[in-house]
Amino acid sequence: MSAWMIESVVQLFGRSDWLIFASAQVCIILAVLPILLIVHERYGMRASGYTALAVFLTHFTTLTSVEYNVNIGFLPFWSWMVFSFLKAEETDRLVWWSLFGLVSAGGMYGKYIAGVFLISAALWVLLKRKDLLLRPGPYLAAAIFAIAFAPHVVWLVNSGFLPIEYAMSRTEDASSAWYQHIVMPIIYLVEFLYSVAPMLVALAIAAGWGRIRTISRLKVKSLTKLVWTDPFVFAVIGPIGVIAAISMVLGAPIKTAWSIPLGVVFAGLIGISASVLEREAGSFKQRFLGSWVVLYGTLLLVLLGIFAFAPMVKSKPARMQYDGPALTRLVENYWYSHKTEPFEYTVGSRWPGGTVSWYAAQRPTLFENASLQQSPWINIEDLQSKGALYVDYNEPAAKIAGMCVSDPQKVLWPMPDGRTYERHPEVWIAVLEPASGPSAVSCEGE
């Protein structure tokens, strides 16, 4: 889904780095908007105002939001799944159930983690709203979801469940020790709390130590009760519990990226809490705003340090300094010193190979790491009949993807300021000669 989204932008407006950065920010806005709408509708303007501030006290919406990727592209789907489910649960109108089914299918096309919210929604219906099972809405949502997601299921079967196999290959090996089933969910919960820590710190500073110290067991019980009575609060807490339960059952580590959409929705809970506390403490608003300015300013300073100051002192450049257009010009000059036709394929790792594929005039297709598991759309016969350009950090073997390697060279990745770093990134480039057709080339010794 994230690939379709950004490709749509490129087809409409052309290739531009600024469009990619802007698309990331649009995704952030689209993810925040439904949460603000929910909180405003259910808890009032004050709560939505605090939510709007709290949502930008996480690195998911600040430090890491500058890079469009699958996680950022997925963010709006989670929020709109929450929004459409709550509207459907509240009104039982078929239009909302239909939207929930459609958005959920889009979410699953984005990331399978969307299934966690579907589990949470099913739990809420089974535990609190069984009456909905006697209505057509949930079944309409399920039918629309099944129809929209069916093409992907067919492809999964035909491809041998390739993305699932790929995801499993990237998952860290989980220990079979019994304590992993306890340690891993605890680690996940700690990492989640760390990701939303600035929100919690702002709330704690505004509330004051005296109020925090007087939190009674009764209030904790009241909060627990709220989880089981308020569908929005359950939509915030439920998925966290589901992910922790998955980690507990499997004894497996959970990647921090899973918590990105949960952190955005969690801001709503902070906003609700802040609106309640403001009514109980006269100076709460001033302390919250003061702490927000300091914390958000700190995030901005960190961002500025990463982009502006760190490159001046590091022995290795940061990735945003890598001059993609300059590398592509260098590589294209190399290619046209050997061939007359444009290259339609690049072969190599995602960063150097993908960079050249993005900036090259003909926009070639990347055959990532020469692996059909990572690039299942590649037509091997067409690739081998046309040849390709190799662009990677690693020195090429004598033969790659069945094609002979010709004239391999190692070059320095250009930097915008022309600086050469102590640990400067080096890139190997080579011509991969056609292995079939009238231009086929045999390797030496064959």
Has residue 446 got a pLDDT over 70? no
User: What is the rounded CA–CA span in Å between residue 90 and residue 45?
Assistant: 20
Question: In this predicted model, what pLDDT tens digit does every residue of 246-291 receive, in sequence order?
Answer: 888 877 777 777 788 999 999 999 999 999 888 876 788 999 999 9
H or E stretch including 83? Answer: helix 70-91
pTM for the full predicted model = 0.89
What's at 223, amino acid-wise? L
More confident residue, 357 or 61: 357
Has residue 220 got a pLDDT over 90? no
Beta-sheet strand order (sheet of 403-412): 365-368, 345-348, 388-392, 426-432, 403-412, 399-400
pLDDT attached to residue 176 = 59
Determine the 3-state secondary structure of 348 from DSSP.
strand
More confident residue, 285 or 214: 285
431 and 407 in contact (C-beta within 8 Å)?
Answer: yes
Question: In this predicted model, what pLDDT tens digit does every residue of 80-133 receive, in sequence order?
Answer: 999 999 999 999 999 999 999 999 999 999 999 999 999 999 999 999 999 999
Q: Could you write out the DSSP letters of every residue in 100-163?
A: HHHHHHHHHHH-TTHHHHHHHHHHHHHHH-GGGGGSSHHHHHHHHHHHHHHHHHHHHHHTTSHH
* Residue 317 CA: distances (Å) to CA of 118, 251, 351, 369: 42, 37, 14, 23
Has residue 174 got a pLDDT over 60? no
Residue that is written with structure tokens 């702490």 in the block: 291
> In 2-69, which residue ranges form alpha helices assigned H by DSSP?
2-13, 17-43, 45-54
43 and 271 in contact (C-beta within 8 Å)?
Answer: yes
191-195, 218-222, 287-291: range with lowest mean pLDDT:
218-222
pLDDT attached to residue 218 = 46
Task: Give 412's strand partners.
Answer: 426
